[in-house]
Amino acid sequence: MTDRVAALDEDQDPLSLDRQVCFPLYAATNLLNRLYGPVLRELGLTYPQYLVMLVLWETAPQTVGTLGARLYLDSGTLTPLLKRMEASGLVTRTRDPADERRVIIDLTDQGRMLRDRAVHVPATIAGGRTPEGLEELRESVRGLVAMLADQHPQG
């Protein structure tokens, strides 16, 4: 088997690391987390908490289900995250009076004010890259996300 692996040209081997779509995404995610980490720590946020805040800064309140759909997170991942954010004073969690099964997430005054302190984050992470270059990259990655979401079973 080792001879077969050695005999395959890297350009033809479907299991070559360099031919994988998943690996550069994995590496990019790790590198982005390292870049965002120190910047977000100054705000008292983790990266997933920052994503929740971005959604809520756009439109609040939101249901847990809507947040989960927007962020591609299930409620089992999102609920503990939101509980920690509530304990930090950034959001409130209340049952929807019209449907007790739904939980509504809203910003507190502290959560709203944090937006002013976070406005520098995108420019800090962009590191001087052109808006056009960032938009092109963002659209390319969005296309990949859409393709993967289409293949992911709903549930």
Evaluate the CA torsion angle 42, 43, 44, 49 in order and state its sign. negative
pLDDT value at residue 152 = 74
- Both 20 and 57 in one domain: the answer is no
The Cα–Cα gap between 147 and 60 comes to 28
pLDDT value at residue 44 = 96
- Supply the pTM of this predicted model: 0.83
pLDDT value at residue 54 = 97
> What token pair was written down for 5?
């692996």
- Who's near 55: CB < 8 A, 6+ residues apart? 62, 67, 70, 71
- Both 9 and 25 in one domain: the answer is yes
* Inter-CA distances, 131 with 68, 125, 137, Å: 28, 12, 10
Quote the number of domains for the chain. Answer: 3
> What token pair was written down for 27?
């590496």
- Both 38 and 59 in one domain: the answer is no
pLDDT value at residue 19 = 87
pLDDT tens, N- to C-terminus, the chain (155 residues): 555 555 566 678 889 998 888 898 899 899 988 999 999 999 999 999 999 999 999 999 999 999 999 999 998 999 999 999 999 999 999 998 989 899 999 999 999 999 999 999 998 888 878 888 888 888 988 998 888 888 876 54
Question: Domain containing 103 — which CATH number?
Answer: 1.10.10.10
pLDDT value at residue 12 = 83
- Both 60 and 91 in one domain: the answer is yes
Helical segments of 18-108, H only: 22-41, 47-58, 64-71, 75-87
- Both 55 and 98 in one domain: the answer is yes
Domain hosting 108: range is 44-118
- Both 74 and 126 in one domain: the answer is no
- Both 48 and 114 in one domain: the answer is yes
- Both 22 and 56 in one domain: the answer is no
> From the CB of residue 26, how many other CB atoms can be counted at a distance below 10 Å?
11
- Both 28 and 60 in one domain: the answer is no
- Both 57 and 95 in one domain: the answer is yes
